[in-house]
Structures are given as C-alpha cells and as structure tokens.
Structure 1
Amino acid sequence: MAQNMSAAQISEHDYRSQVRKAAIASLIGTAIEWYDFFLYGTIAALVFPKLFFPTSDPYVGFLETFAIYALGFVARPVGGAIFGHYGDRIGRKATLIITLLLMGISSTLIGLMPTYNSIGSLAPWLLTLLRVLQGIGVGGEWGGSVLLSLEWGHKEKRGLMGSWPQLGVPLGLALSSALVSIFLAVGGKEGFVSWGWRIPFILSIVLVAIGLFIRLRIMETPLFSKVIAEKRVERTPVSEVIKNNWKEILLSALLRMSEQTPFYIFITFVISYGTGTLHLSGNFLNNSVLAAAFLSLFSIPFFGYLSDRIGRKRMYIIGSALTLIYAFPYFGMLDTKVPALVVLAIVVSLIPHDMQYGPQAALIAENFPTRLRYSGASLGYQLASVIAGGPAPLVAAWLLHTFGSSNAIAGYIVICSVITIIATSLLKDRTKVDIIQEFNEGVSV
C-alpha cells in the first residue's frame, strides 16, 4: 500500500491496520519525547547543581538548575505555535518527524556537552539553549501525536484513542527513571556524577532512530486529508484559532492546573525534597517514581476508556477533586519518612492525575475544528506549561524555603485544583459529538 494514499482509497482491513499503526506511532513517539524531557528533570535534581553551578550556594544552585528546567516549559508554547502552524498547513505526519529529530538531537547533545569545570560559565548557557530546544520539540510533539491517534479513531472511542499518546508520559518517565537507577547502581554516586548521567542522554539517538522508522510507515489522518482535498487549509491557522477559539485555548490551559502542577511536584520536586529535606535515598525515591509510572501504564488508558462512557468533563472533575483531597495526606505520608508510606504516597499520587490525563487529549482536541485543531490544541495544552508545570518545582522550593513546611505546597496544589474544576466546568463536553459532522463533512469518524 502506498504511503500517500488517502483513507478513502483503502480497504476496511487496511484502515483498521492504519488505526493500529497510528496508535502505536503516537505512543512510541511521545514516549521517546517524554523520555528525553523527564530525563533532564530527574538528572537535574540529582547532579546538575554540582556540575553546572558548583560555585553557588546549594539552595541558589538548586534554583538556578530548576530555572533552566522551567525554561523548557516556557519554550513549549513556542513549539506548539510553530509546529501547530505547520501541522495544520502541511499535515500531522511530516511535522511529527521534525519534532522527533529536534528533541532527540538536543538531548543527545546534552549528554555530550562539557560542564562548568571544563568551560566555565559557558556551560550553563549551552545547557539552557539545549533545554529550550527540548521544550520547542515537546511543544510541537503533543498536538500532532494526539491528532494522529484521535483522527484515525472511531468517534465512540476518542477518549481511549486519545489516551494512547498520553501513555508516552509514564513510558518515558519509566524508561528515564529505570536508566537513571541502572547507572546509579553501576557507577555509584561518584561514577554517576562523573560519567553515568551522560549515557541516558546519549542513548536518545537510538530511540529516535526507532521512532523515525515507525513514523515513516504511517499515512496522514483521514480528517486532515479531507481538509486538504476540499482546499480548506488555513493560511495562518495560529492567528485564526486565537481569533475564533481564544476561550477554548484559555480554558484548556487552566484545566491543566491540577493535572500538571502536582505531577511535576510528585515526580521531580519529590526527589530533591526527599533527598535534601527528608534525607532519603535518591535511588529509593527514583524507584518509587518508577513504580508510579508503571501503574499509570494501565490507569491512563482505563480512564480514557471510562471517559467514553461517563463523559470527559465528569471524569476530569472527579480526578481534580481527588487531587485536592489528596494534597495534604500526600505530604503527611512523605514527612513520616517511613519507607512503606513514602512509596504508597508516591504511587497513589498519580492515580488522580491519570483520571485527568487519560481523557485530557480528547477533551481538549474535540473543542477545535479539524483545520485548526493542531494549533488550537497545542496552544491550549502547552500554555499550561508556563503557568503550571514549569514553575511548579520552583514555587514548591520557594514555599518550602519561606514557610518551612510542606503544608504550604499542599495548599498550592489545592488552589490549582479549584482553578481546574472551574475551568473544566466552563468548557463544552463533546464526548458524543461527531467532530467531523460539525463542519458538514458528511462522514463519521
């Protein structure tokens, strides 16, 4: 079968095959992207202050490291706008190949770059540049991967299909955490600081080769192929979606407050908090995060599937409410320093998150028309990175330093959850809506 054939020209059997390929391609691609992105966060918490800010006070070095970490999030809306434009102009497939290359090459170069002891203050500037390029790549990746899966799927299974690329998050997190644990065990603390941290970054180039092989074998989505065939491609999709769908973009960003803010506290800040404040083993904490990521491999698609049954908004609000309720017990269990309770706190923390993350892709993407969907969904999703995920570890560190108690961080999570519940309530629920029919395209997904 030729790769440039349209969905209308292939048999039912081949169509189903393309649906499977699209789901797998979106999953593996996002897993690679998020592996690279999470790897930075984990290693930054463990060794980057020593390697790139050795002359700074430990607290200042920590803030400097996570300021660079946050810049990756600031860059994500930029990537969403750039690749959203091309994704709505030339297609989902071509754009996703570029984002994969950008992310993989940037991560590999981080593994090869010199540290402060070799080139002085130039080292943190190079790290900042590569982190920004990582953010741009991830910013363009999510929207395309979600649409690749969602726009090939059946209208009654959009929650489940949209959850497939979301699985890239726990897969990437699990893979990055596993490799960090392996090289911590192999090289020990000194070996990891000296050379072990570089290997997981360098391995990115191997993962990129695998991802490219898979993505080059898929076709353009039938929904966007129809937009091209009917010559309805927008000249400036980003400006068009901002003009017509600004409310949906804003609400999409705000509804992520109780999903993204706690997530980066639960998987990144917890490592520095656990090692620095509670004096727990970094490897122990990393393995606990790995266990939580493994559970998410099952819970994310389950809650995506469940949203097809009970509705996206209902599923999402339940998850946000449970995040609010769990905030104080989470830190209460961590602060006991009892290993079993610490593991339980970390593993359970991602269940309310997954209740939101499973249906999130469909909830956001369904609120934008096909010709503007890549741009609109990417902007809404990635803007949250600036107000939620990016600042989260920094805000958490400041709250702990200022108030001397984890209760302040729990209160921060509660506020974010309230914002999410309000924003989700204001967004339309299109769970049962045919997202083609609203444009009179006359076919069902």
Structure 2
Amino acid sequence: MTAPELHLDEQELAMQKRRAAISSVIGTTIEWYDFFLYGTMAALIFPQLFFPKGDPYIALMQSFTTFALGFVARPVGAAIFGHFGDRIGRKTTLVVTLLLMGLATALIGFMPSYDQIGLWAPLIVTLLRLIQGIGIGGEWGGAILISMEWGDKNRRGFMASLPQMGVPFGLLLSSVVTTLIISMSGDGFYTWGWRIPFLLSLILVFIGLYVRLKVLESPLFQETLAKKDVSKVPVGEVFMKYPGEILWSMLSRVVENGSFYIFVTFIVSYGTMFLGMDKSIFVNATIIAAFANMFAIAYFGHLSDKFGRKRVYTTGVVLMMLWAFPYYWLVNTKSVALIFLATIMAMFLHGLLYGPQAAMIAENFPTRLRYSGASLGYQLTAIIAGGPAPLISTWLLHTFNSSVAISFYLVIMGIVSLAGVMMLKDRTHQSLS
C-alpha cells in the first residue's frame, strides 16, 4: 500500500515507520523484562520462597517447572491474540498483551511466601506465570508484524529483527535491575528486595502504552480490511491451510529457543550449585553478553535481506551446534574471564539465529492469517524447547554429573532445527500478499 492510499505524505509515512519500529522495540523490551525477571528469580530465590523446604534439587526442579508452565501458556496466548490480531488489528491487540503481562508481573511482587500461606503460594505464583505466558504468547506476533508490515520490501528482515532486540534489551534491563537490587538490599533481598523489580513493571507498562497508542495500524492489514478479506476464524483456517508452515517454523526454532534458556536461565543455577561460584558472576556475564546479542540480531537481520533468510539462519544453526562443547569447556574452568567469553560468544550466535528468524517465519503466511500463523509457529516451540530446557538440563546434570550430556542435548536440538529450516520456503525477495 502506498502513502497516498494511507492518506499520509512522505514525511508522515516516514514518521509512522519510525514509530512502528520504536514502539515494537519498547513494547517487547517491557514484555521480555517481565518474562526474564521471573526466570532469573526462579533460579535465585523462588525455590526458597514459594516451595516446601527440603532437598535443594527438588525445590529447583519445582521452581523450573513453574518456569516451564509459562511456556506452555504461550501457544494459548498465540491462539487467542492471533485470532484478534488477524480480525481487529495488530495495534489494539498489542495494547491488551502489554497490560496483561505487566499486571501479572506486578502481582508477583505482592506475593506472600510459602511460610505465610502454604501451598497457596506455589499455586498462585504458577497461575500468574501462566498469565505471563499468555501475554508474551500474543505479544511477539503483533510486535514483529507491525514493524515488518510498515517496512519496505527490501528491508523486511531488518525491520522484523528490531522487535527481536526487545529480548536482549529486556534481559539486560531485568539483569541490571536484579543486580542493583541485590547490591542495595543485601540480606534484605530475600525478604523484601526481590519484590522491587516486579513492582517496577507498572511504571514500564505506562511508558509502553504511551508509545504504542501513537502508532497507526499496519498498512498491509488496513488493505486486508479495505478488501473485506478478514478471516472469520483465522486460527482454524491457518491450521487447515498452512499446517506444514506452522510445523517447520516450530522445529526451525528449537535450538535457538532451547539454547537461549540454557545460556541465560539454567547457567545461573549451574554456576552456583554445581560449580560453587557466586551468582553475580553469571548475572554480570549475561548483562555484557546482551550487548553482543543486540548487535548480532540487527546485523544478521540486515544480512538476511541481502543473502536470504535460510542461508543466514542455517549458518547460525551449524555454528551453534559447534559451540555446544567449547561453551561448557570454558565455563568449567571457573575462570571469570573465560566464563564471560563463553557467554558473549553464545549470545552472539543466538543473535545470528534470532535476527533473520522473525521475517523467515512471518513471510510464510499471508497477511490475513499472518498474526495467527507466525505466532503459533513461533510459540509452539516453547513447549518442546525453551520451556523444558532448564528442567531437562537440571535432570541431565543430576543424572550424569557432567555438562557433556547438556552439550549433546544442544547438538540434538540443532539437528531438529536443521530439518525444520530446510523445509521452510525462503520468501526474502517476494512481495507479501
């Protein structure tokens, strides 16, 4: 759709493109701040706060189980908000997902502990985690589409990669806030300090709403509305017409999604419980590595516009598989410098995957079904990869008492991803319908 059809002059059109990109980055940053904050606390403090006292291994497994449940909820959110995103629009849906996620996160900050309310504590925190998962499940599809669909044909990979940067921004923000609160509160972190990062979510939500409400609906969806081509049941239709695209999108993400939560969430408990090192080392390594992740996401999203999504993505999968063993070799030295190096390299490789991924998946679905199809293909992976990754890694470490088993686990995920990406079509240089 051209500027005249949107009744926007060139200056206004350029402004809307910038707003779409900026609002997507800010919105996804807030959503991922909320989501990652829970993951960090699940490793650091939730086993002691919300679960019965006893074997630390059992408590950690219980904590990571609630963490995984948030991922199970994500496809539910993808289906719910995919339906509305393809029927009433990307913008309105994104406002609702932001509110849902922010309020659930803030409520966790008010939670009483297991010692105070018994079994109600793990039950309520699990419910709030499920609500978080539903919110983030609906967020991703809308954020990348409103940016990508406002972008030019030759820059779709780059424009779609910008909301992906909300992941390292959110990770960075949650890590920095957690580190500052740990430093400032001292021993009080385990009683009141941990609540502050969750309550801050309310302020971030108001900022996100202010920015998002200034963005117009995407031109491609406006065109769909004008043609009266809106699907009545988009989720059902996309499953009927594009089941293969959903499955291949899901499988292509396995190593990207699973490895991320091993490098970011599981590594904190691995370093503290297995290596006996201070948790701040791994939190700080993650903070530094987030910058490498940001750069890689934008750069390789840009490169995918030149060399094609599949070529860039496949390269990333192979390199991630090759890094599976050296990563743990470096971490197991207990050298702080080498731990930082291992983490930075791991997150750079993750960015190589995550940059071109959004456009690669979204371009395989038509506009009238793109929110539902892309969201489901993306979020279903969470059930088999990202969600259970810390849980499976904890079990592998407990069973084999060695990180080698986790490295093999990463390689297996890579093989699955190669199979998925080979089956997807590369529509890098095609017009979107």
Q: Percent identity?
A: 55
Instruction: Select which of 128, 151, 154 maps to 1:153.
Output: 151
Q: Which residue of 2 aligns with 1:399?
A: 396
Q: Which residue of 2 aligns with 1:312?
A: 309
Q: How far does residue 221 in structure 1 lie from its aligned partner after superposition?
A: 0.3
Q: Which residue of 2 aligns with 1:165?
A: 163
Q: Which residue of 2 aligns with 1:95?
A: 93
C-alpha contact (below 8 Å) 1:6/1:225 kept by paired residues: no
Q: Which residue of 2 aligns with 1:301?
A: 298
Per-residue deviation, residues 248-277 of structure 1 (Å, max 9, x unmatched): 000000000110111000000000000000
Q: Which residue of 2 aligns with 1:428?
A: 425
Instruction: Select which of 206, 212, 216 maps to 1:215.
Output: 212
Query: For 1:260-271, what aligned pairs fall within 5 Å after superposition?
Result: 260-271=257-268
Q: Residue type of the partner of 2:179?
A: S
CA distance in 2, matches of 1:284, 1:184: 13
C-alpha contact (below 8 Å) 1:42/1:268 kept by paired residues: yes
CA distance in 1, matches of 2:410, 2:354: 16
C-alpha contact (below 8 Å) 1:81/1:378 kept by paired residues: yes
C-alpha contact (below 8 Å) 1:184/1:283 kept by paired residues: no
> Which is further off, 266-275 or 337-346?
337-346
CA distance in 2, matches of 1:331, 1:59: 21
Q: Which residue of 1 aligns with 2:7?
A: 9
Q: Residue type of the partner of 1:201?
A: F
CA distance in 1, matches of 2:206, 2:309: 35
C-alpha contact (below 8 Å) 1:77/1:382 kept by paired residues: yes
Q: How far does residue 6 in structure 1 lie from its aligned partner after superposition?
A: 9.0
C-alpha contact (below 8 Å) 1:288/1:343 kept by paired residues: yes
> Which is further off, 82-91 or 341-350?
341-350
Query: For 1:43-442, what aligned pairs fall within 5 Å after superposition?
Result: 43-188=41-186, 190-436=187-433
Q: Residue type of the partner of 1:91?
A: G
CA distance in 1, matches of 2:238, 2:262: 32
Partner SS for 2:17:
helix
Partner SS for 1:354:
helix
Q: Residue type of the partner of 2:378?
A: Y
Q: How far does residue 54 in structure 1 lie from its aligned partner after superposition?
A: 3.9
Q: How far does residue 233 in structure 1 lie from its aligned partner after superposition?
A: 0.3
Q: Residue type of the partner of 2:220?
A: L
CA distance in 1, matches of 2:308, 2:192: 48
Cα RMSD over matched residues?
A: 1.0
Partner SS for 1:113:
coil
C-alpha contact (below 8 Å) 1:76/1:385 kept by paired residues: yes
CA distance in 1, matches of 2:296, 2:80: 32
Superposed structure 1 runs of 4+ greater than 6 Å apart: none
CA distance in 1, matches of 2:408, 2:237: 38
CA distance in 2, matches of 1:431, 1:309: 9
Q: Residue type of the partner of 1:335?
A: N
Provide structure 1 residue ranges, at least 5 long, that are not aligned to the other structure: 437-445
Partner SS for 2:191:
helix
Q: Does 1:42 align with 2:40?
A: yes
Provide structure 2 residue ranges, at least 5 long, that are not aligned to the other structure: none
C-alpha contact (below 8 Å) 2:51/2:121 kept by paired residues: no
TM-score (normalizing by structure 1): 0.96
Q: How far does residue 7 in structure 1 lie from its aligned partner after superposition?
A: 5.8
The 1:40–1:305 alpha-carbon spacing in structure 2 relative to 1, beyond 3 Å, is same
Partner SS for 1:378:
helix
